[in-house]
Structure formats: structure tokens, C-alpha cells
Structure 1
Amino acid sequence: MKRRKTLHRWTTVVAGALTLLAAVPANAASKPVSTYDSTTARPIDRSNVDLVAELQPLEKCLYEFGVYPAGGVGYKDSSLPYDHYTPLQASVLTLRAQIMRNNVDTVAGILIDSDGQGVSSMQVAVSSRTTDSQPSIAELVVNDPIASAAYDYVKGAAISVGALRIDAAPLRQQCTIREEFHSLRGVDGRPVTVYTSPSPGSGKMNVVTTPHYEEPVRQLAKRFASDVAIAIDSIEDAGRHDDFAPWYGGLRVNDGMGNCSTSFRVNVSSVITADHCAGSGPYGLNFVNNGSNVGWASNSLKAANVDAKVLTGSTYDNKIWTGPVDNTTTFIKAEGIYPYALAPANGQFLISGAQTGQGALTYQGIYNNAGTACLSSSWGYGCQLLELNAVGTICHRGDSGGPVGQYDPINSRVVALGVVKAVLGDQFSSHKCLITNIEAISFLYGGATIG
């Protein structure tokens, strides 16, 4: 049988000091995010993957910016792909989505300030290139009852909402810029490895590529002049041992080609990992841990440009490992979804990868990273990426597929933020940890329950 496990408070060592990670906002931690019966398994519904595949280019680009299409299954037909946010969270996120959806030729981005306890302000960045005056929020939500109702609720909660004009491309032009860079081919005819990340605070699209593809990327950048910021760095898709099922997140799994990690249980019946963690080795699509079967890979989200899939065929628990990579005694419950758009800049989040073990990551914040980054790599075109800062060997090769979340001390759990995708920069020093937004994964799996 499994060894007895002791629940420890989730902590991390930073620069020699033991630091408790910041809690989720008070309005998120006061009650469980979901009322779903976590003891009952249910199948994954892929209807929303088909919905995304049929979107027109602009709609698909907005989806990649975190503006989800209406008409999906598994959640209410609104701007939210998840029904269990608090009323205030839902109103802020709905207002963000509807303003972006309805003003693609005017709005350049939306900046949300969060102090870790809740939202303090919201600013709509309007392109000065497309309007001679600064519109009011009332003008941006006119004729949209969903946006108007959300705006009224947010104002009633005493959250400051305003607009500011900036010299930046509006959303439609940002979509064109992104499409151009991710369609780029090198002299060898192969897709260029490139990363694009909107930065509403700077008014630019951050574009990162490797030294091998620097020349074609810089040539293309000349077409967009001041709308992009080019950087050259390394980009690479990014163990702990257990004995047997039920399997936890943060587990080392091997597909016969290399090691990856598991992250969060989904719909009770499966566990999430990265889609690029698939090989054609002796195990094929079967993943093992220390010789024991963890599950068969299925339900890839690559068709929706999301680097995720699930393992099924065994039993899984709503827990993730804590402590170092050789630990098999401490864990914590993991459930719910943390809305990235409300995450505080410089807020700390948890990683529990099979290579790293337990560590801390720092969120860039929506001013510097709109949480809607995309990466073209050897795996293909992947979007719905969030960018966090990492140091040393935290977020390393082998952590791909592993969990990243926010510690919630009130409910003694970790709330899911995302799944490790890739490393941007030198993975042995200060670098970026790119993760796939868990909100998008839940949406694509038909409003799936995380945990």
C-alpha cells in the first residue's frame, strides 16, 4: 500500500529564506470554486475543440487572447468558459472579454491591477491611431447588455474602470502581426521558432526567436516598425517517483522517449500532461512511472493550438506532490481554476515538476504579458501561454506537463493556473517559464472540472 503521507503547508525556499506563498484573492478563497462532485467521473467532451476549429481568423485570434466564443458546451453561454468564479471575478472577466470582442479596431489591450487580494482597477488601452478622442467606458459597452451589466456590477464594487489612449496597434492589427510571424519560414523552408506576446503596458508585441532564425524575423519586423520589440534567446520545450495508483500531479512519467510530468486531475477520470510529451518509443502512447502504468495518452488539444492532452486508464487523485523530487510523503489538494487575467503582477505561483520538485515562479503581470502568448516550436503552433519568471533550475526540461498554481491557505489547496509548456532563455539561470492556461484547457474539454 502507499506510504502514509503528511500534509504540510505549502512553502518555498527563496534566497535562503522560508517564505509562505501569497494567497489567492479573498473573493476567490472564501469558498470552493466548484460544487461539482469530485467523486464521480465523467467523460471529456470535445465539442469546444470543434467549435474553435470552425472560428473565422479574427474570432480565433480573439480566442487566443483569452476571449472565448459563445455557444460552447459545459458552461453558460456567455463570455466565461468557467461557471464557478465569484460574481465580482465573473463581472471583471466578462467586461474584459466583451470590450475586446466588440472593439477590435479601437482597443489595444486591457490592463487589470490586482494586489493579490482582489482587483483594484481596470484600464482599457485605446489605440490613439484609430480614435481622435478618448472614449468613455460607457461608449465602449453601448448596445451590449452583457457588457453593460458587467460594467454596472464592477462599478458597484467600487473598482476604478477607465480608458487611456496609447500609441499602439489595435487588436485587429495585433492579430495580423501575430499571424505574419507565426507563418514565417526560414531559408530551410521550415517554420521559424518564434514566440509572440502582447504587452499592453509598452504598446508593443514582444517577439522572441533563436539565433538561427534571427535574420528572417528581423526582416519581417521592419514591416511593423515600432509595433514589435525583437529579442534573441534560446527557446526549448521543457523525477519524482511514486509507487502506484492513484497517481498525483507533479509525477515523473516516461513514454519511452523522455521524462515529463503530470499536473492536474480532470473530470476525475484523467490527468493532464503536455501534448509534446509524446514519443514513438517502446511504450508508444503509454506512460509509465517506475515500471507502473500511469495511463494512455488521449484527447490531444493540438487541433486547437493548445499543448495539452490527458492520460487515462488508471486511477488519479486531486492532489499534487510537494517537496523535493525524491519526496513521496507530502502533497496538497489541487482543484479549481485561477483566472490569469486577475493574477497580480509579481505574484508568486507554485510549480511542482518532476525535475524541479517544488519551486516558486513569479507572474509577469498583465501589463507586461497579456497572458495570451503563442509559440511556434518543433511541436507546432501553441497558444494560450502565460509567462512567469524563474531562477536557477526551477522550470526545467522534464517539468513539461507539470502543475503551476496558487496556494490557497483558507481551503488548504492549490488553485490551478496552468501546465508547464516551455523554457524561454537559459534554463540554468534566470529565465521565463511558459505555461498553458488551465482555463483554456477546461474550456476545450467541455467545461471540465479541475481537481
Structure 2
Amino acid sequence: MNRGVKLGLASVAIVVAVLAAWPSAAAVAASSKPAVDPSVPVPVNGKLVSDLDARGRCLFDNDVYPAGGVGFRDSSLPYDDLESVPRAEQTLRAQVLRRHADQVMEVSFTGSAATVTVSKASVRGVVPTVDDLATGDRAATDALATLRAAGRQVVVESLDAPSLLDVCEIRRVIGTIATKISAISVTPNAAEGKVDITVSAESIPLVETTLRSFASWIRVESGDVALASRTADSAPWYGGARLNRWDGAFLCSTSFRFNNGSQYLLTADHCGPSGYKWYNNGDMYTGGYVGYSASNLGAYGVDTAVIAGSSYGAKVYTGSTTSNSSIAANGVYPNSALQYGDQLVISGAASGQGNITATGLGETCIWFSNATYQYCHLLTFSAVGGVCIGGDSGGPIGVYDPASGRLIASATVTGTRNPTSSDHWCYGTNISAAIYLWGGGTIG
């Protein structure tokens, strides 16, 4: 195709995202799995995650990765390329939560300050200092020293809030009724010491009854949570392009090129199972063959998969749904640096390019009735207008760097809340979780 020059983009953070419909059983059966490609990335750290106990899995689902993995200098933190201060932030958060998940709800960063939210009930009236929480942990004390040397203030706030382990217990109990509800979103809100739960209006009584013992910590709201082109693309395939299944039905979008031994293209796990074949704007007879889902991470609670079998470019589409303009996309953005109100841009195959806004909320987990897995590692954004809608799933979410004119990868779109509303939410899967499971790799 004739790909044009990239569109001018405002100097703001950008996100490109996508949502999809789950393929029917007939569609899955009709797809055929190609011969196994030994070069396809495998989740080398997957067994480590699978073998975690309940506490360890709670930490992983909240982006505190277990030590002992491969692919990173610090095997518990896939942040090798970060500068010293954001790396220190992530290290302090990981180490404090790892050691004090029964006391601490979250470690949040805003501007030049950090807040450690602790549960009043767990500390029994004696509020620890951040030095108390870091004592005995060299990585935590070194990170704290780095932050203080940079002028960062770290404070501890005691609230009538759940600890991180309490948050995970709320999620576990919700999982016992997940099959009775169409979709559930669970999002910790450390600033208010609450866990926000979104379900359909008719399901609120069931949720409130089931979570009666957590009543002071939860806030249940009604809402529609759903799984969330460019057209006529050609190899090397770009991000933000339209993905059709074998019979031409439009499902998802592509996002970023991922490099791990070979080059691949990212999309969402829920778009189709491993081996599922993808085409661009056509069926298996008339559409360009984009490749097949080669390594899916749904079993680990991560809504990400790689597409293999063709060639892929390090760009994503911008502009309208019929645009041929694009922009370079490379690098991984430290999502801890996203502040409330930061602007990002979605550029999915169904909605085209538009702005979305960081909400500053914690890691969200979602259950979908038509998906096999509970997905965690989700970032929450506010969307206005017709962006982040069905067909955008799997698409890129990134931060625009005006100095280099590139998009820095942040996430891939998983779903949306109240998509028919002019003001709704968009959920994106943190790309770092996928990179950790695949044992490292680069974007671009």
C-alpha cells in the first residue's frame, strides 16, 4: 500500500489501543495451527509464575515480579533501561510490597513525592516510617537513598484501607461468582483506600452480598465492561492495523513490534488462541496474511500475544481509520511515571487516533464471561467520544516523545467500560508484564 508520512502529533503522552469480540467456537475450530516454529518466543519465566504461592501470585498480578527469572539484570524488575530515579521508584515499590504486602496497599508516585498507603488495621495504631519499611532490605534502602538525593519526598499515609493481600483476597472471592456475572472490573484506589468494583446493575446485590465482610473497603458501581485499521495494510505490517479472522470477521488490532530472537507483532491474548491465523481487511482468500498467534500469555493473567509468520515494521498508524500515516514506535515507557491527567492517544483499527487520559488508579483486574482467564496488569484510562471501542483490542498504547518524534510503548488495549457513553474508561495491559514472561526483549 501507499503509506504516507506521519501525522503531526501534539507534544503530549500518546496511547494507541484496541478492543475485540471473542471468536466463536466454529471460528476457532476452522483455524489451523502451523508447524511449531522453534524461534517463537516462549514464556521462559512462565513456570516461575505458575509455581508461585497465593502471596507471590498476588504480588505478580500487581506488577511485582518474582526473583529468579531470566532476561534482566535485576531478575525481579524488568526496568533495565530506566534512568536512576524511575528505577529507584520501581525498586522501592517492589521491595516494600514484597516485604509488607500484609500492611501496605500501594506505593504511589506523583511528581516529586511518593506515598506509601498502609492499612490502619494492620499496623494497629503504630504507623511505620518509610525507613522502617525499608529496614533490612539493601535494595530498598539504596533506592530510598537515590530518591532522597534527587529531592524526592517519601511519606507514609495511614488509612482505613485494605492491604495488598486484602485486595487480592477481594479479587479471589469475586472470582467465585465470576461465572454468574457478564463481566467484572476490580480496581484498587489507594488515594481513597477503596477497591472500586464495576458490574452490571442487576449484579450489584450479588456482589455486595458476597463481599459483605469487606464492605468498608469496597465501592460497587454499575457499568458495562466489554472486550474492547487500519485497512489494506501490507508487510511489513504496522501497529494499529486491522485484524480479521479466517472468514473476514473484524476482531482486533495490531500494536508494537516485539524483538526476542526474531521480530513479532503484539496483539491481545483474548483476540484468539495460540495458532489462530490473522488477515488484514479480508478473509483467508482475499485478505493479506498477517501471521498467527504464536505465544499467548492468558494462562498467566496477561492479555498479550505475539503474531509470527510474516515481517513486521517498527511503526504504528496515526490519524483516522482509513489513514495511511504512521509514526515510529520503540522503547518501553515506565508506567509508574504516568500522572493523573496525563494525555495519551489511542489509534485503533476501529476508532482511529484520539486522546485518552491517565486516571492515576492502581492495577486493575477484569473477568470476562467470554474469555478463559482473569486478566490483571491493567492500566485504566479515561476516554471521551468514540475511541477505545470494539475492534481496538490488542492495539498500541504509548507515550509520545517530541524530542525524537516517536511513540514509546506503554500498553496494549484490553477492554472498555461503558463504551457507548461519551465519557468512558479504557483498559490497557502493561507491556512490561509480557516482556518479563518472555524473558526480556525490546519494542521497535
Fold shared by both chains (TM-score > 0.5)? yes
- In the alignment, structure 1 residue 362 sits paired with structure 2 residue 357: yes
Q: Structure 2 matches for 1:253-272, cutoff 5 A?
A: 253-256=243-246, 257-267=249-259, 269-272=263-266
| Residue of structure 2 equivalent to 1:21 | 12
8 Å Cα contact 1:182/1:194 also seen in 2: no
| Residue of structure 2 equivalent to 1:350 | 345
TM-score, with structure 2 as normaliser:
0.88
Local SS of the residue matching 2:155: strand
Q: What letter corresponds to residue 312 of structure 2 in structure 1?
A: Y
Q: 2:98 aligns with which of 95, 101, 116?
A: 101
When structure 1 is superposed on structure 2, of 428-437 and 284-293 the one drifting more is 284-293
> Cα distance 1:42–1:75, how it changes in 2: closer, same or farther (>3 A)?
farther
Give the CA deviation at 1:22.
4.4
Q: What letter corresponds to residue 226 of structure 2 in structure 1?
A: E
| Residue of structure 2 equivalent to 1:376 | 367
Q: 1:184 aligns with which of 156, 170, 177?
A: 177
Local SS of the residue matching 1:129: helix
Q: What letter corresponds to residue 122 of structure 1 in structure 2?
A: A
Gaps of 5+ in 1: 12-19, 25-40, 115-119
Structural RMSD (CA) = 2.0
What is the count of residue pairs matched by the alignment?
410
| Residue of structure 2 equivalent to 1:113 | 110
Give the CA deviation at 1:242.
3.1
Give the CA deviation at 1:82.
2.9
**Distance (whole Å) between structure 1 residues aligned to residue 4 and residue 393 of structure 2:** 25
Sequence identity (%): 36
Gaps of 5+ in 2: 16-37, 282-286
8 Å Cα contact 1:255/1:279 also seen in 2: no
Q: Output one character per residue of 1:238-293: Cα deviation in whole Å (capped at 9) or x when no partner.
A: 1321341000000001013432100011015110111111279xxx8110013110
Ranked by relative contact order (alpha carbons within 8 Å, sequence separation 6 or more), the top structure is 2
Q: 1:66 aligns with which of 63, 72, 77?
A: 63
Local SS of the residue matching 2:170: helix
| Residue of structure 2 equivalent to 1:273 | 267
Q: Structure 2 matches for 1:4-403, cutoff 5 A?
A: 5-11=4-10, 20-22=11-13, 43-114=40-111, 120-131=112-123, 132-185=125-178, 190=180, 193-256=183-246, 257-267=249-259, 269-278=263-272, 285-290=276-281, 291-328=287-324, 330-365=325-360, 369-370=361-362, 372-377=363-368, 378-379=370-371, 380-403=373-396
**Distance (whole Å) between structure 2 residues aligned to residue 428 and residue 172 of structure 1:** 34
Give the CA deviation at 1:81.
1.6
> Cα distance 1:337–1:279, how it changes in 2: closer, same or farther (>3 A)?
closer
**Distance (whole Å) between structure 2 residues aligned to residue 185 and residue 260 of structure 1:** 24
- Large movers: runs of 4+ above 6 Å: none
8 Å Cα contact 1:79/1:94 also seen in 2: no
| Residue of structure 2 equivalent to 1:426 | 419
When structure 1 is superposed on structure 2, of 348-357 and 165-174 the one drifting more is 165-174
Give the CA deviation at 1:303.
0.9
8 Å Cα contact 1:255/1:277 also seen in 2: no
